[in-house]
Structures are given as C-alpha cells and as structure tokens.
Amino acid sequence: MKENSIFTTGLFVVALLLLFLSVGRLLGDNDPERFKVSVVVDHSNSDVWSSFKMGLTAAGRAYNMEYNFVSTDRLVSIQQENISMQREIQSGADGIIAELRATEGTGLLLNALGKNAEIMLVDSQKETTEPGLNISSVNVEEEALGKALAEQVLHSTLHREKKRIGILAGNQNKGNMQRRLHSLLSVLEAGGQEIAWVLPDRGKIQEDMVKANHKRSVDLIVALENDSLEMASRYLKDTGRRYVELYGVGNSREVVYALDTGVIRCLAVIDQYTMAYYAMEDLWYKLSKKRNTIEDRVVNFYMVTGENMYSEEIERILFPTGD
C-alpha cells in the first residue's frame, strides 16, 4: 500500500513537471519577436544626436526593439552611406533608420535596400521609390522652419531697416535643406533685406565663411544646421565680432551654451526625441505587419531665445531626460 502511494506520488510529480514544461514552451512560442534596427546618420558620435538617442531608447523599451547606432564620421556621399546600410542588413538588421546625405540618386538605392529590410527616413528627402516598399519619413516642416527663422531676423534689434545678411546653408544636396533655404530667402527678400552671401557646406565651412565675410562683411548671420552654427559662433567669439547677430538651427551643447551667453540671438530647435521615437514606432508597425501603409510624419520645432530657454517646455526640449 505504501509502495503504491509512493508510485502514485511520483507519477503526479512527473505529470506536473511535463505540464510546466509544456506551458513554458507555449508561452515562449508566444513571446513577441524582438526586432533589430540599425541607425545610420552623419557624424554619429556628435552630441547633436543625444536627444535622438533618448527617443530611440524610449521607443525600443515600449516596442521591445533593440538598435545599433552605427559609428560614422562625416558621410561624404550617398554611396558611402549605402555601403554602411548594406553592411548592417547583411549583419542581420531587420530595419534601417537613416538620415540621407543627399536626395539625388536615392530612388534606385532605396528600391534595392527596401527589398531586404524595412526602411525609415529621418531629416531627409528622397526620390520616388516603388510604392510597395512603403518607405516613409519623419521630418520637420521645412517651409515653416525657414519662415520662422526669417521672421526672427526681421524683428532684429539692429537699428537698420535694411540689414546685410550672410547665410550658411548647410548640406544643399538634401532636398529638405533646399526647401528650408528657399523659405528663408523668400521671406527675407520680401522684407527688403540684402543677402550678401549664401554658402552651402562644401566641407570647408570656416574657410568659406572667413573669405566671404572679408569680401562683404555682414550685420547678421543665419546658419541652417548645427555644424555651421557652431562654426559661426566660434568665428564671432574668436574675432571679437559680438556685434554681428547670429541666428540658426541646432541643439548641441555648444550652441545651447552660445545661446545662454548671448552669442546666438535665436535658436530653432527641432524635436529630435520625438523624431526618433516616431521612426522606431513606425518601423515596428512595418516589421510586425500591424499596418499595411505608414504615412510620413511631422515633428515640431521651437524658437528659443535667452528669455524663454529656461521655461518648462523649452527645458524639456533642450535638456531631455528620456522619461
């Protein structure tokens, strides 16, 4: 009788273990797939991407995704960037988030890449791609940004009706940067301002700016992206030209400090945290097949001055915590 009891108890324990194993296997089969995403942007080690990385991390936690922020120096061409993206796909990336360094030539490139991985673009403008690939983007409204910067310039405290203005136009191989510049110029010219020079980024920002300003000095400089704005800020400080007003687009620690110390009069800050979050979120929808099509999305920008930079809303944009 005792032996039967022991035997029965043993069978019960074995059955219970088998049940637990079966349930565990079933639950394991239902675990959501963890997608791998690679992010390819220009000069990835710059602190200009700090807010962007926080957005990626927050979305990665929310959607059970992991990302590799690919280490890059200055990406000089779309072909160089293409090599990086191909390498990431070959290494197992399910999706790519990319900031395209140019617009021309991207159609065929993205058509090829999109057959092997899902693609999301940020701060970019592409050529037309095959509709079935559904390559979407997250951007700022460029025309509105250019107009807002120009309006700040028109309200400058300089006591001159007509100001002589120099523009650092950034990477004009990008269609979205061309739109930003066109919008800025349209408003400034309609306001009767004199445009002394417009300098696209050819990789020699400092040299080009010094030469241009030597030929035609300006009252005011507008820089359309962070690297140019940093260069202009250093130039004005190093040469004692604090009387030249400086406006621009950026978010690095250097330009925020220049704003705080009065070197920069007004700073347009793009919400890169949300840009990155949207890109990861939309990539998850694509990879998990939760949505058949994904529309382009737009993020906000904020006009920041020394007077409002420590307001609660602006501090959240300038100094994100990742919460």
- pLDDT, tens digit (0-9, with 9 covering 90-100), for 302-315: 999 999 999 999 99
Q: Does domain 142-270 have CATH number 3.40.50.2300?
A: yes
Q: What pLDDT is stored for residue 262 in this prediction?
A: 95
Output the 3-class SS for the chain. Answer: CHHHHHHHHHHHHHHHHHHHHHHHHHHHHCCCCCEEEEEECCCCCCHHHHHHHHHHHHHHHHHCEEEEECCCCCCCCHHHHHHHHHHHHHCCCCEEEECCCCCCCHHHHHHHHCCCCEEEEECCCCCCCCHHHCCEEEEECHHHHHHHHHHHHHCCCCCCCCCEEEEEEECCCCHHHHHHHHHHHHHHHHCCCEEEEEEECCCCHHHHHHHHHHHCCCCEEEECCHHHHHHHHHHHHHCCCCCCEEEEECCCHHHHHHHHCCCCCEEEEECHHHHHHHHHHHHHHHHCCCCCCCCCEEECEEEECCCCCCCHHHHHHHCCCCC
Report the DSSP pairing between strands 65-69 and 301-304: unpaired
Domain boundaries of the chain, sorted by first residue? 36-140+274-300, 142-270
User: Which position has the token pair 């349209």?
Assistant: 186
Q: How confident is the model at residue 74 (pLDDT cuts 50, 70, 90)?
A: confident
- What amino acid occupies position 39? V
CATH code of 36-140+274-300, in short, is 3.40.50.2300
CB-based contact 241:234 (threshold 8 Å): no
- pLDDT, tens digit (0-9, with 9 covering 90-100), for 287-305: 998 887 789 999 999 999 9
Can you tell me the mean pLDDT for 233-249? 94
Q: What angle do CA 281, 285, 288 make, to 5 degrees?
A: 125
CATH topology agreement for domains 36-140+274-300 and 142-270: yes
Can you tell me the mean pLDDT for 153-174? 91
Q: Enumerate the β-bridge partners of residue 188.
A: none
Can you tell me the mean pLDDT for 125-142? 94
- pLDDT, tens digit (0-9, with 9 covering 90-100), for 15-64: 555 555 554 444 444 556 899 999 999 999 999 999 999 999 999 999 99
Q: What is the CA 300 to chain-centroid distance, rounded? A: 12
Q: What pLDDT is stored for residue 29 in this prediction?
A: 47
pLDDT, greater one: 265 or 14: 265
Can you tell me the mean pLDDT for 213-221? 95
Lowest mean pLDDT among 34-38, 74-78, 84-88: 74-78
CB-based contact 293:134 (threshold 8 Å): yes
| pLDDT more than 70, % of the chain | 89
- The answer to whether residue 234 scores a pLDDT higher than 80 is yes
| pLDDT more than 90, % of the chain | 80
- What amino acid occupies position 261? T
